[in-house]
Chain A
Amino acid sequence: MTSAVAILPSQQLAVLNEAYRKAVARKRLRFALGTVVFLVALVVAAFGAEVNLRTFFTYLGNFISYFDRIGKLDTGARVWTDFGEWFWGWQKWLKLLGETLLISYVGTLIGAVNAFLLNFLAAENTSPAPWLRLLVRRLLEFARTVPGIVFALIFVIAFGLGPMAGVLAIAIHSTGALGKLFSEIVENADMKPVEGVRSTGASWVSCMRFAVLPQVIAGYASYALLRFEINVREASVMGFVGAGGIGQELVVAIRKFYYSDVSAILITIILAVFIIDIATGWLRGRLFGREARP
Chain B
Amino acid sequence: MKQMPAPNPRELRARYPDVFDRPAAAKLATPAMALVAFAVFIFGLVDLDFSPSRFFNGLHQLGWITLLMLPPDPGSSLPLYLKSLGETLSIALLGTTLAALAALPVSLFAAHNIVPTIIRFPVRRFLDSIRGVDTLIWALVWINVVGLGPFAGVLAIAVSDFGAFGKLFSEAIEAADQKQVEGIRASGGSAMHEIRFGLLPQVLPVIAGQVLYFIESNTRSATIIGIVGAGGIGLQLAEQIRVLEWQKVSFLILMILIAVAVIDWISSKLRFAIIGRRAVA
Contact = CB atoms under 8 A, between A and B. Distances in A.
Interface of A: 41-42, 44-52, 55-56, 59, 62-63, 66, 99, 102-103, 105-106, 109, 142, 145-147, 149-150, 153-155, 157-160, 162-164, 167, 233-234, 236-237, 240-241, 244, 250-251, 254-255, 257, 266, 269-270, 273-274
B141 to A, nearest CB: 6
Interface string B251-267: 00100110011000000
A29 B244 CA distance: 52
Given A45-B90, A149-B224, A244-B48, A50 B151 contact: yes
B48 A56 contact: no
Contacts of B54: 159-160, 164
Contacts of B97: 42
A55 B146 contact: yes
Given A51-B151, A106-B45, A233 B132 contact: yes
A145 B258 CA distance: 10
Nearest to A236: B134
Given A42-B94, A51-B94, A167-B48, A158 B220 contact: no
B137 interface: yes
B93 interface: yes
Given A48-B89, A145-B220, A236-B134, A56 B65 contact: no
- Residue among A109, A145, A251 with most chain B CB within 10 A: A145
Contacts of B93: 41-42, 45
B3 interface: no
Contacts of B176: none
Nearest to B86: A48
B89 A45 contact: yes
B146 A270 contact: no
Interface of B: 37, 40-41, 43-45, 47-50, 54-55, 57-59, 61-62, 65, 86-87, 89-91, 93-94, 97, 128-129, 132-134, 136-137, 140-142, 144-147, 149-151, 153-155, 220-221, 223-224, 227-228, 231, 237-238, 241, 244, 249, 253, 256-257, 260-261
- Residue among A147, A234, A240 with most chain B CB within 10 A: A147
B224 A147 contact: yes
B92 to A, nearest CB: 9
Nearest to A107: B44
Contacts of A146: 253, 256-257
A55 B151 contact: yes
Contacts of A55: 146-147, 151
Contact of B40 (A47, A105, A155, A236): A105
Contacts of A157: 61, 65, 241, 244
Interface of A is mostly: helix
Contacts of B146: 55-56, 59, 62-63
Given A145-B257, A147-B220, A158 B65 contact: yes
6 contacts: A45-B91, A51-B151, A167-B50, A241-B227, A254-B137, A254-B140
A237 to B, nearest CB: 5
B49 A164 contact: yes
Contact of B132 (A44, A149, A270): A270
A105 B48 CA distance: 11
Given A42-B97, A269-B133, A158 B58 contact: yes
A109 B41 CA distance: 8
A149 B136 contact: yes
9 nearest A-B pairs in the assembled complex, by CB-CB distance: A48-B90, A159-B58, A45-B90, A158-B61, A49-B90, A106-B44, A270-B132, A163-B48, A49-B150
B128 A106 contact: no
Contacts of B49: 162-164
